[in-house]
Amino acid sequence: MAQGDRSSALDQLRHAASLGIDEAVSLPPRCYRDPAIYELEQREIFGRDWIHIGRACDISEPGDYLAADLPGAAVMAVRQKDGSIKVLSRVCRHRGALVASEGSGHSGVFSCPYHRWTYELDGRLRAAPTMEGNPAFKRENCALPEFRMEIWQGFIFVTLSADAAPLGAALAPLSVMIDKYDIGDWRSAFSVEDVWDTNWKVAFENACESYHHIGFHQHSLDPIWPGLTTQPGKGDEAFNFHVVPSIPDFRYREVEGVTLDDGAMSHFFICGIYPSLTLVLAGPSTIWFSFEPLSVDRVRVRAGQLNPAAYFDAPNLEEMVAGDRAMLVGILEEDKVGCLGVQQGLSMADAASGPLSPLERPIAEFVRYLARRLAA
């Protein structure tokens, strides 16, 4: 993309963000398909903002870790011996090999597979064979770098920026809204992962609005949570949200010890946390969706279900988890197919920004977030 073309796309983004909510339009199609815009996002969004990398309950024991890749950084969240969590680099300080593989695991120490430099759980260098023969070697200068992290409602976030404002403060208004659910200590029932051939913003936007229930999910979600009943709320700079009421007389199954009002026990409360995490609070269950860009038209989609401790005491737990998992996998497959079609359409020469429905207020607010990060 030529510099002039990118400037034109960013001008269109600024214009879209400047419109009132009642006359909002979607992002310029070029924002979903151009490698130069993608590279700008990697630098200005994923290289600077708070990025979700996992759930604290999934690394419960000292030595448990979750690995993740950010622009220019391979990181891992590691449970420490004192119960705290640190986010460390996975790059050996010797010659750059990775000391932990992708995904999750457990280790008492982190040992580089190349020359067996070995690190403590907190990143301090424990052993470096033969390095005492080099007078320039200083063990204390060879610890794995540590990155800023915060835990919000049990979710682990990391930022590569020293200047990012505290995450907890940015999400404080959202914390108040969902306080009654008390999801911070909820446990993971299951998680799934897939790669979609679509831009990450297509996937994230899709997860942030329920208007599309009438299309992608007309036989699955819409009969119980009708998309046309969506109630968008006024979001904040760090998040958007909306509520989807259920049909009359629907109610989630009860879980002992969980006390929620009738609305919370029947509707969806959906919030999109910028740039790439969406939560669906559904009574005694919360579904999360995380979107990791892999290229301009590929995204890794992770999703999982959280539940309070009493959920796991149910005598038919295995059956419940299998049913919940099957439902989520089915919904994700509907979204995957639909988002692929959206990406294909946005890649056409005649694609254009279109007017947004009032039910798509979260998308209009996301456009403004992108403009603040990319086109300020």
Does 210 lie in the same domain as 76? no
Does 232 lie in the same domain as 125? no
Residue 4 confidence (pLDDT) above 90 = no
Handedness of CA 137, 133, 90, 294 (dihedral sign): positive
Average pLDDT over residues 81-101: 97
Does 340 lie in the same domain as 287? yes
Containing structural domain, residue 119: 51-159
Residue 1 confidence (pLDDT) above 70 = no
Does 347 lie in the same domain as 245? yes
CATH for 91: 2.102.10.10
pLDDT over 90 percentage in the chain: 95
Q: Are 231 and 219 in contact (CB under 8 A)?
A: no
Q: Which of 117, 141, 159 corresponds to the end of one domain? A: 159
Residue 27 confidence (pLDDT) above 60 = yes
Does 186 lie in the same domain as 42? yes
Say if residue 298 is exposed, middle or buried (CB neighbours under 10 Å; 0-12, 13-18, 19+): middle
Q: Which of 90, 124, 159 corresponds to the end of one domain? A: 159
Question: What 3-state class would DSSP assign to 59?
Answer: coil
Residue 273 CB coordination number (10 Å): 26
Identity of residue 319: E
pTM of the predicted protein model: 0.96
Residue 2 confidence (pLDDT) above 60 = no
Per-residue pLDDT tens over the stretch 228-261: 999 999 999 999 999 999 999 999 999 988 899 9
Does 335 lie in the same domain as 245? yes
Quick one: pLDDT at residue 3?
A: 54
Per-residue pLDDT tens over the stretch 278-303: 999 999 999 999 999 999 999 999 99
Does 45 lie in the same domain as 155? no
Does 56 lie in the same domain as 45? no
Residue 102 confidence (pLDDT) above 90 = no
Quick one: pLDDT at residue 130?
A: 97
Q: Which of 103, 124, 159 corresponds to the end of one domain? A: 159
Domain count, the chain: 2
Please tell me the distance from the alpha carbon of residue 77 to that of residue 51, in angstroms, as a whole number.
12
Does 61 lie in the same domain as 24? no
